[in-house]
Amino acid sequence: MAGLQWAPWVLSLGLGVGSFFGIVWFFAADELHQPRTMLVGHPSAMLMLILPPTLAFTVPSTRDWFLDFSCMTGSIVFGVVTSLVLSYCPGGFGAEPARRMVPRAAAAKAQALAEMFEAVAIWQKPTTAALLRHRQCRLRLLTTSYDLQKAMAASAFEWHPVQLGEDTFDPWARAAEDCRIALQLNSGMMALGFSPVSMELWYKGALGECLRRSCFSAAYALRSCAGRLAALGGEEPPAEVPAAPWLSSDYASGAECQDAAQICRKSLDLYLQQWRQTYLEHRDKTFRTHLEEVILKTVKRTEGYNPVQMFLKGEYIIQSEEVEGEDAQAEAFDEACRHSACLLGICQASTAAAQMAEAVVEESKAAPCCLTRKGFCGLRSWVRAPFTCSVWPEAFKKAKSFGLRMSFALFCTGLVYALATPNEVWPHKRGPTWTLVTVSLIVTPVQGASLQRALRRFLGTISGSIIAMGSILLVGVPDIRVLCTHIFLLAFGLKFFETELQYAGAVCFVTYTVVIMGLTDELQEDLDLLSSTAQLAVRRCCDVSAGVVITMVTSIFLAPDRAVDELRKREEDALRIAAKGMQAASGVLARAAARKELEQEPRAWRELRKALNFAGDGRPGVGDVLEDARWESRWGVDRGRLVLGGLLWIPWCGSQPRGKHCLEVVVILSRLMRTVHCLISICESSFGEDAARPLSHDPRVLETLGPNGQAFNVLIERLLKRMVNMLRGQKEHKDEGLETEELKEQLQLLFNSAAASRFKANGLVGQSPQLGGMRAAAALKLLQVCVDNFLQIAQQLAGEKVETPLHSSRSSLTGRASHSSLFADFEMEEMEEAAGSK
């Protein structure tokens, strides 16, 4: 400024241009700071650029400007330093460091996994109580996974990131996710229930005892791991139980975790050994005798009785006229496939549990200081950004719409205050400070978040003003010493607000403080106390309301970045990734059916697994975008047309679909991604020598799949193209939709022919100890579930009624639900839980 007198419209224009530059600068610094997240975001950049010119609207002289600006800067710095001192305050009064929070959050997740293992071990029938417990375990796993991720993200900004021994915490977290996915695979398959014959064969007797022992051993390893992590997190050991002192002890040591991991592996080996003894080493004698005894207990004996053929043909399932012949054989094969998936799920989960226990054996060691890598809070990236031209094109591409909205809103705000005449109510005679701050904090990169944040800021401002007037009425005199007690009580009470309303609570506290402090500064003896308070509160509300109105109008009409569009884009990417995973699995099955050597591509499988990051799987997905899309759908701003290259939004115009269908798709799509994850975890390792047993003994399997799975994959690609067109709002042609029926027929034929191949091969289990036939059967079942979910998504996007998936369990003997309950009955609310927590 330097004493120059700037015209108000020049200040307004400079404010808009400067804010656009600041936003692009932030995105450029964020590009340089990857892969870590920037701690200082665009609100800080806006405040840096807004505060100096804001004071220039009303400050009469250069000396006053420098004095006010110095006082404001000093107040902010003092607040920051005070917060840091209190955060690092010793004696239990400071903030909890990540080196303690991360192990505690990890311990909670390990305990939740242990409870899930125990629920799997004791689950015999899908009763209401058993299903309810599994649902509770799933929700708890989702919550603990989200808490662990937040703690791990916060640890990136501390002096010493969390480590376990020589490795970082990431391997433990990956093993925990593998364990969770495997347990989800097991419990999802068992949710359909098994017939009494299958329960007697696989889940009772010596084999069932080995299964339960393996599950309980894995749960013990996980609880030992949780105890070790809790000890590393600084928690106190359990209190002594007077009646049973042996139940109380210190948390598990490294040696105990190592022993628990070995016990877990030995129990799993015993379980697999029992399998080999039952189905491999004495197959012709022991298995046949055991099977005959089981069938005699549960099914009436028929003419030409052969227990193995009766078992493979599914004749033990025939209890009504609805299931017979090829359908009964397919039902029996479906049950065998689900049992195979359960077995593999237990094996993978137990292995992951042992890895988790072994990972916490060594003591946690201090890591190098974060300052040596990316600088404190990204300060190095902020300084380098203006001089690194290579990142600016990408930053401009990301920030252009957001920066345009911010700059236009600030320009309009400054111009309105520059042209309007101040009065007693609005606009404020001291300038647009709070209106500009409101705009800078409300405008976000996503439209739905801006609408939500604007309403909560308005609610917080009104509440804070009313509470301030109540304090004045209660005190009677503006005594700052008495009012400080009210400030402390209000700050303490607002800490108990729900997560969704914490921003509104923060605004309420700031508004209360501003009104109270402004009253004590301006109050004179001849002024009425209540009227002065009301005047200050009304001015504050008017300033914030002006910023809210300007922000909402700008966010809706000017270059909107709608969460619905972002959600559609993420859904499109997720569908492509899921289709790619199904096509890869189809190729593996086709090569096994042709008895060709499986072409393993570990890198390709790893890249595919990394891309499986949608929602509901314990990692950040679309929870925040989903919430924003819901807000946009309520307001109706998800309809209309974007014109001029997305620069303007015209309401109620065009054929772009509403966000209703893409919101409904989220639950099934999240389930599809988790199932594809399970499918990939089975297909990425070698099937073994017996993988051809359910695939190669009937030529229809290879005919259905085609060479390398091409015939099946073409239908998936066609259906994917149709769903992508529906997400983009393109009209369907009359001949579209036929691929849905074709895919259903192909899936039906594939399952029936695989069931016939299993019968001709005399079962899934051969002489190979790798259980390749069971792996192929589990992959077939998961592929079927994925395709069923794929078809359901297509039906929901088209606005049709979602049909029951193929091969639904119809046997009255089992009394189990349809495949629609798989990963669904007890996970339908997980997306709402995740969105609410975010």
pLDDT tens sequence across 575-622: 888 898 899 889 889 888 888 766 555 555 566 666 555 543 333 334
Q: What is the largest CA-CA distance in the chain?
A: 110
What is the rounded average pLDDT for all residues in the chain?
77
Question: Which conformational region is residue 231 in: left (phi greater than 0), alpha (psi within -120 to 50 degrees), or beta?
Answer: alpha
Q: Do residue 191 and residue 319 come from a single domain?
A: yes
Q: Do residue 13 and residue 121 come from a single domain?
A: no
753-768: average pLDDT: 84
| Cβ proximity of 357 and 225 under 8 Å | yes
Long-range CB contacts (within 8 A, 24+) of 142-146? 142/616, 142/618, 142/830, 142/833, 142/834, 143/833, 143/837, 144/105, 144/108, 144/109, 144/111, 144/112, 145/109, 145/176, 145/177, 145/180, 145/618, 145/619, 146/618, 146/834, 146/837, 146/838
Q: Which residue has the higher pLDDT, 47 or 487?
A: 487
Q: Do residue 722 and residue 624 come from a single domain?
A: yes
387-404: average pLDDT: 89
249-263: average pLDDT: 83
CA separation for the pair 29, 20 (Å, rounded):
14
Q: Which residue has the higher pLDDT, 201 or 402?
A: 402
CA separation for the pair 537, 534 (Å, rounded):
5
Distances (CA, A) of 88 to 95, 102, 104, 210, 265: 6, 17, 19, 51, 43
Sign of torsion, CA 105 108 114 118? negative
Indicate the residue type of 269.
Answer: D
Residue 510 is predicted with a pLDDT of 87
Confidence of residue 249 (pLDDT cuts 50, 70, 90): low
CA separation for the pair 601, 605 (Å, rounded):
6
286-298: average pLDDT: 74
User: What is the DSSP annotation of 148-204?
Assistant: HHHHHHHHTTSSS--EETTEESHHHHHHHHHHHHHHHHHHHHHTT---HHHHHHHSS
Confidence of residue 838 (pLDDT cuts 50, 70, 90): very low
Confidence of residue 473 (pLDDT cuts 50, 70, 90): confident
Confidence of residue 410 (pLDDT cuts 50, 70, 90): confident
Q: Do residue 427 and residue 482 come from a single domain?
A: yes
Q: Do residue 515 and residue 541 come from a single domain?
A: yes
Sign of torsion, CA 631 634 637 639? positive
Q: Do residue 292 and residue 379 come from a single domain?
A: no
Where does a domain end: 561, 587, 616? 561
Beta-strand relationship, 163-164 and 167-168? antiparallel
Indicate the residue type of 625.
Answer: V
| Cβ proximity of 616 and 671 under 8 Å | yes
Residue 262 is predicted with a pLDDT of 93
Structural domain includes residue 824: no
Domain CATH code at residue 751: 1.20.58
Angle in degrees, CA 5, 10, 13, rounded to 5: 150
Structural domain includes residue 816: no
| Cβ proximity of 779 and 581 under 8 Å | no
Q: Do residue 533 and residue 554 come from a single domain?
A: yes
Sign of torsion, CA 51 54 56 60? negative
Poorest-pLDDT segment among 431-445, 653-667, 674-688: 653-667
CA separation for the pair 144, 101 (Å, rounded):
12
Confidence of residue 51 (pLDDT cuts 50, 70, 90): low
| Cβ proximity of 353 and 222 under 8 Å | yes
Poorest-pLDDT segment among 377-386, 441-450, 604-613, 630-639: 604-613
Structural domain includes residue 304: yes
Residue 621 is predicted with a pLDDT of 36
Residues whose CB is less than 8 angstroms from the CB of residue 627 and which lie 6 or more positions away in sequence, other chains included:
448, 452, 835, 836, 838
24-28: average pLDDT: 87
Structural domain includes residue 812: no
Residue 606 is predicted with a pLDDT of 63
Residue 353 is predicted with a pLDDT of 94
Q: Which residue has the higher pLDDT, 492 or 476?
A: 492
Question: Which conformational region is residue 355 in: left (phi greater than 0), alpha (psi within -120 to 50 degrees), or beta?
Answer: alpha
Structural domain includes residue 403: no
Poorest-pLDDT segment among 130-134, 249-253, 258-262, 781-785: 249-253
CA nearest to 645, candidates 396, 393, 391, 400: 400
The count of structural domains within the chain is: 4
CB atoms within 10 A of CB 424: 9
What the block records as the tokens of 357 is 């226990």
Q: Do residue 681 and residue 622 come from a single domain?
A: yes
Q: Do residue 91 and residue 200 come from a single domain?
A: no
Residue 373 is predicted with a pLDDT of 45
Confidence of residue 470 (pLDDT cuts 50, 70, 90): confident
216-242: average pLDDT: 81
Q: Do residue 9 and residue 33 come from a single domain?
A: yes
> 427: domain range?
420-561
Structural domain includes residue 246: no
Poorest-pLDDT segment among 29-33, 37-41, 795-799: 37-41
Residue 820 is predicted with a pLDDT of 36
Structural domain includes residue 137: yes
Q: Is the pLDDT of residue 263 over 90?
A: yes
Q: Is the pLDDT of residue 469 over 70?
A: yes
Question: Which conformational region is residue 727 in: left (phi greater than 0), alpha (psi within -120 to 50 degrees), or beta?
Answer: alpha
What the block records as the tokens of 50 is 């807004």
Confidence of residue 323 (pLDDT cuts 50, 70, 90): low
CA nearest to 778, candidates 401, 345, 475: 345
Residue 810 is predicted with a pLDDT of 40
CA separation for the pair 208, 214 (Å, rounded):
10
Q: Is the pLDDT of residue 6 over 70?
A: no
Q: Which residue has the higher pLDDT, 159 or 109?
A: 109
